[in-house]
Amino acid sequence: MNDDYVEQIKSKFGLNQYEAKIWLSLLSKGIGAAGEISAESNVPRSRAYDVMESLEKKGFVILKMSKPIKYMAVNPMDVIENLKKNAITKAQKHSDALEEFKSSEAFKELSLHYNSGVKSIEPSEMSGMVKGRNNIYSKIESMIRNSSKSIILSASPNDIAGMAHLKSELSKAKKRGVGVKILAPESSNILNALNGEAFGIKNSINGFSRFLITDDSDILFLLSNDDEVHPRHDAGLWVKSPSFAKSVNTMFNHMWERLN
């Protein structure tokens, strides 16, 4: 049993070393008693029954009513579908709990702490690096979520497609009366990603930069072309500077007016 393969199964299916080895052995054998499978998988016999019980609870094996007790492997496709369903259910419960927490006194205390801390920060210190594409996309969605007047987004098609909640946040911003302008190459792909939402979208004909400006106040510059850097190494510079944001906004609007 190849160690790399066992590690891959462990990672993808959320199993420990013994569980992965026993499940793989049982898949090859189809059906077997705990003692047989422990010998084939090199898992100590003293642990085999506990591991089988754990795999049964997780839906990887079925207990057969026989003497001696035997186990049958579940089809990996069925295992994946069950794991997906459980993951979605668990994530939804967690999401619901977090949403409910937003109306609690404890959350109000958190907000008070944050607002108090922000007031003590000097304006010149309102900047920082955002590293990793997932963190960058989260920052973009947060800036859009907190916008009240304007949104200017210059991005790649991969950026648009990669932000899971972008369409939802832009739609909510639009309903709040926020002006939205999006500049990107291949606008047709962007429109498809946004499902035809009536935002202001134009082609960036001669190349493009990746940045976001909200409310003439916050600006996030992404430092690399997303095709040239690994997602983990993608990085952006965030600055809260009304004067700087307004200057970039003015330059953007001049360019915007020249585009068809």
CA dist., res. 171 & res. 198, Å (int): 9
> Tens-digit pLDDT profile for the chain (260 aa)?
678 899 999 999 999 999 999 999 999 888 888 888 888 888 898 898 899 999 999 999 998 877 788 889 899 999 999 999 999 999 999 999 999 998 999 999 998 888 887 677 676 667 889 999 999 999 999 999 999 999 999 888 888 888 878 888 988 998 899 999 888 877 656 766 676 566 788 877 666 688 999 998 899 999 888 888 898 999 999 998 888 888 888 888 888 887 76
Confidence (pLDDT) at 19: 93
Buried b (16+ CB within 10 A) or exposed e, 115-139: eeeeeeeeeeeeeeebeebeebbeb
Sorted by where each starts, the structural domains of the chain and their CATH numbers stand as 3-75 (1.10.10.10), 126-258 (3.30.870.10)
Sequence-distant (6+) residues with CB within 8 A of 63 are 52, 56, 69, 71
